[in-house]
Amino acid sequence: MPPTTSDRPADWWRQAVVYQVYPRSFRDLDGDGLGDIAGVTERLPYLQRLGVDAVWLSPFYPSALADGGYDVDDHRDVDPRLGTLEQFDDMVAEAHGRGIKVIVDIVPNHTSDRHAWFQEALASPPGSPARDRYVFRDGTGPDGSRPPSDWMSHFGGPAWTRVPDGQWYLHLFAQEQPDLNWAAPEVRADFLDTLRFWSDRGVDGFRVDVAHALAKDLSEPLRNYGGVHPDALTELPIDGSHPLFDRDEVHEIFREWRKVLDSYDPPRSAVAEAWVTTSRRVLYARPDELGQAFNFEFLVSPWSAEQFRVEIDGALSAAAAAGASATWVLSNHDVVRHRSRYALPAGTDLNGWLLSGGTTPEPDDEVGLRRARAATLLMLALPGSAYVYQGEELGLPEVADLAPEVLQDPIWARTGRVEKGRDGCRVPLPWTRTGPSFGFGGAHPWLPQPAGFGELSAEAQDGVEGSTLELYRAALRLRRELGGDESLQWVDAGPTALTHVLHLRRSTGWASVTNLSAADVALPAGEVVLTSGPLGDGTLPPDTTVWLRPAAS
Ligand code: NOJ
């Protein structure tokens, strides 16, 4: 019996492989152009065969889609275009029957402007309790016609919008996403109810959107910060002193959440989306808070053995010190897909590249795919949880040439068409070689797919030796079989900066070796169990990862 991560069923999430479904782009069973819940249910056998431990569904709640569903009208319902609560329950039951856990997205920083609370706030006078659930303020300047502070929206433009009676409301994202006031007891209580609502329906865990923004310093006068967002991974103060992000008080909120999550058997898991530096990030992941927090430093690391090692060591030791388990992400619905990132020269301005329609600089797709596969095997060899974004198992590239008129991401319009946004990683999945929308669903998917998508479809790769889909399937199966605790040991052939090789060993004895140099390196001893690309004669070629088991003596 190979040793596994933990025998406690309650700890299933500590080293899970979680597959992110972006529901509107996954599978459109009713053919209306938008993916749906029934489509997820239909594809559970595919996910089971892929070997994932859990699915995380991005928001499927009623929404006008001003921000791809992260503008939530009602946190406790299903968008009628995506299905019903009954269909959601069926999906959960079917997933559980197949040994797959279900994680849902919780969006506590804001609601949509169509939410009953916000409608009530608009219909209520300044100073009313209904307005106090959000952040309404009088403007500045002689007639209050200037925003209350210089705070900017992440999506461009001021973070304040004026309402007809002259007050302004805060929205750190689109104007259709008014920020909630987490100092209001009713807001706090309501989210506890939402956690209970989904937990009662059998949901196993939660992904917490913009966890680091809930607690804000709204004392008067509001503190300007110079009108530019700090880069959250590198520039946010680490003492919690920013008025909007990563304030220490935010942890009280998650300690309250943990009590609710722990009132279930098994306790519900949670993972924070907090774009903050490692030392601050793990605070969200403490056992009395959420348990995990996404590590984005691994994702933004350049293709460098030294840098990857710094990120891996930093994440593992910080997680261990906090009593959390580490997390790894290469792609998600907010970033350029990793196959395309790795196809571009180091330091490429990704937005500039998107604006050029994916032509300048010219990506080297072959290198991109090779590195993406190698990075994936490296990620899946690490202790902790790996979050896999739908379509990366097909090796999908970013769709960089979407025409301006089809773009849906609010970033495009709000930045005055300066930032192209995130639509290119959200294009509906290709399931079949041919046919309407390559098997996604109806003839008119909500974002157009590129002509060659069918060749990357699940159908085209199924059973094909060496395909990216088969690589993921094999990797997930082996990862489970080979096991290992949450520790990692480096096998040093010399300083990583000089060898450009990442050779790590897990507690059960198996090893992963990635060659990030430009030349072949000698293949270490051991039985090869999986490789991201062809091996040479006793050598590991550049941009390749191999998994090794100790050779039988
Ligand atoms: C983070 C989500 O991942 C992103 O897609 C969304 O736009 C913002 N939070 C706002 O909810």
pLDDT, tens digit, for every residue of 206-216? 999 999 999 99
**What Å distances lie between residue 117 and 7, 31, 130, 141, CA to CA?**
44, 33, 7, 29
Please answer whether residues 179 and 110 qualify as being in contact, where contact means their C-beta atoms are separated by less than 8 angstroms.
yes
Q: What spacing in Å lies between the alpha carbon of 526 and ligand 1's midpoint?
A: 43
| E strand spans, 151-255 | 160-162, 168-170, 205-208
Burial class (CB in 10 A: 0-12, 13-18, 19+), 403: exposed
pLDDT of res. 317 = 97
Nearest CA to ligand 1 atom 10: 70
Q: What is the distance in A from the centroid of ligand 1 to the CA of 70?
A: 6
Please pick, among 36, 204, 209, 289, the residue that the annotation labels catalytic.
209
| Cα–Cα distance measured from residue 96 to residue 266, given in angstroms and rounded to the nearest whole number | 14
Q: Find the mean pLDDT for residues 265-293.
A: 96
Distance 76 CA to ligand 1 centre (A): 18
DSSP E strand stretches across 412-526: 488-490, 501-506, 511-515, 521-522
State mean pLDDT over 381-385. 98
- Per-residue pLDDT, 4: 45
User: How sure is the predictor about 337, in pLDDT bands with cuts at 50, 70 and 90?
Assistant: very high
Is the backbone peptide bond immediately before 397 cis, with ω within 30 degrees of 0?
no
In whole numbers, what is the pLDDT of the chain averaged over residues?
96
Query: Ligand 1 centre and the CA of 210: distance in Å?
Result: 7
Both tokens of 87, joined, read: 């269909």
pLDDT at res. 283: 97
Enumerate residues lining ligand 1, CB below 6 A.
67, 70, 107, 173, 209-210, 273, 333-334
Residue 553 has pLDDT above 70, yes or no: no
CB 135, CB 202: distance < 8 Å: no
112: CA distance to ligand 1 center in Å?
A: 12
pLDDT per position as a tens digit, 98-123: 999 999 999 999 999 999 999 999 99
DSSP class of residue 450 equals P
Residue to probe by mutation, ligand 1, list 180, 209, 419, most atoms within 8 Å of CB:
209
Q: Determine the pLDDT at residue 232.
A: 80
From 493, 316, 494, 461, select the one nearest 391 (Cα to Cα). Answer: 461
Supply the pTM of this predicted model.
Answer: 0.97
Is 209 designated active site?
A: yes
Nearest CA to ligand 1 atom 3: 334
Q: Report d(CA 44, CA 221) in Å as an integer.
A: 52
Asked if residues 386 and 375 have their Cβ atoms less than 8 Å apart, the reply is: no
Task: Average the pLDDT over 289-303 and give the result.
Answer: 96
Check whether 389 has a pLDDT greater than 50.
yes
Catalytic residue of the set 273, 311, 423, 459:
273
Å from CA of 109 to ligand 1 middle: 10
- pLDDT at residue 528 greater than cutoff 50: yes
Residue 3 predicted with pLDDT over 50:
no
273 catalytic, yes or no? yes
Q: Whose CA is nearest to atom 5 of ligand 1?
A: 334
**Do 274 and 284 meet the contact criterion of CB atoms below 8 Å apart?**
yes
pLDDT for 7 beyond 80: no
Q: What is the pLDDT of residue 1?
A: 41
Sheet (strand 488-490) strand order: 488-490, 501-506, 511-515, 544-549, 527-531
Q: Which atom of ligand 1 is nearest to the CA of 107?
A: 11
Average of per-residue pLDDT across 83-87: 98
Could you tell me the pLDDT band of residue 305, with boundaries at 50, 70 and 90? very high
Check residue 2 and give its pLDDT. 45
What is the best residue among 70, 176, 335, 389 to mutate for testing ligand 1's pocket, by most ligand atoms within 8 Å of CB? 70
Between the CA of residue 400 and those of 24, 69, 82, 375, 403, what are the distances in Å?
A: 19, 22, 27, 21, 9
DSSP-based three-state secondary structure for 381: helix
In the prediction, which pLDDT does 131 show? 98
Atom of ligand 1 nearest to the CA of 70: 11
Is the Cβ–Cβ distance between 272 and 261 less than 8 Å?
A: no
**In the structure, what pLDDT confidence band is assigned to residue 233 with cuts at 50, 70 and 90?**
confident
| pLDDT tens per residue, range 359-370 | 999 999 999 999
Contact between 59 and 70 under an 8 Å Cβ cutoff? The reply is yes
What is the mean predicted confidence (pLDDT) over 119-131?
98
End-to-end CA distance of the chain: 19
Among candidate residues 3, 83, 91, the one with its CA nearest the CA of residue 54: 91
Q: Which residue has the higher pLDDT, 227 or 359?
A: 359
